[in-house]
Amino acid sequence: MEQVMQFVSNHPVLSIAWVGLLVAVIFMTLKTATSKVKDISNSDLTRLINSEDAVVVDTRTIDEFRKGHIVGAINLTPTDIKNGTLAVLDKHKDRPVIVLCANGTSSKEPAEALVKEGFTQVFTLKNGLSGWSGENLPLVRGK
């Protein structure tokens, strides 16, 4: 314990940074564990589409969407979702909805917004479309 106190007194910036990182990791772990939105894999996505008629929501820009997207995906930007422009999705509130982005890092917030709008089964695709195309899974171009 004496060595820890000596280290803290000799390196206060490193000690504060370490405590900050520890708090951030604990916070993110608790937030993920208590979130109603769960990450799913590519195989889980395929299973949900085939067995439960899931809806895929692609949050990338329209240009990125046209370059390649999952069959049947609906293109809604995070701004559309945040503003409540969900007319195209309203009829799917009780079906599984999978939200994806380019690489799996920015789809969580739009997915949380869908939960707040009353969607009951909302998921995000782990690694986003880059993970999907990285496994050579089918994409549709255009539209």
Catalytic residues: 101
Nearest Cα residue to 107 out of 39, 53, 48, 44: 39
Backbone torsions φ then ψ of 16, nearest 5 degrees:
-65, -40
> Is 38:80 a contact under the CB 8 Å cutoff?
no
55 forms bridges with which residues in the sheet?
A: 97
Neighbouring C-alpha atoms within 13 Å toward the C-beta of 48: 20
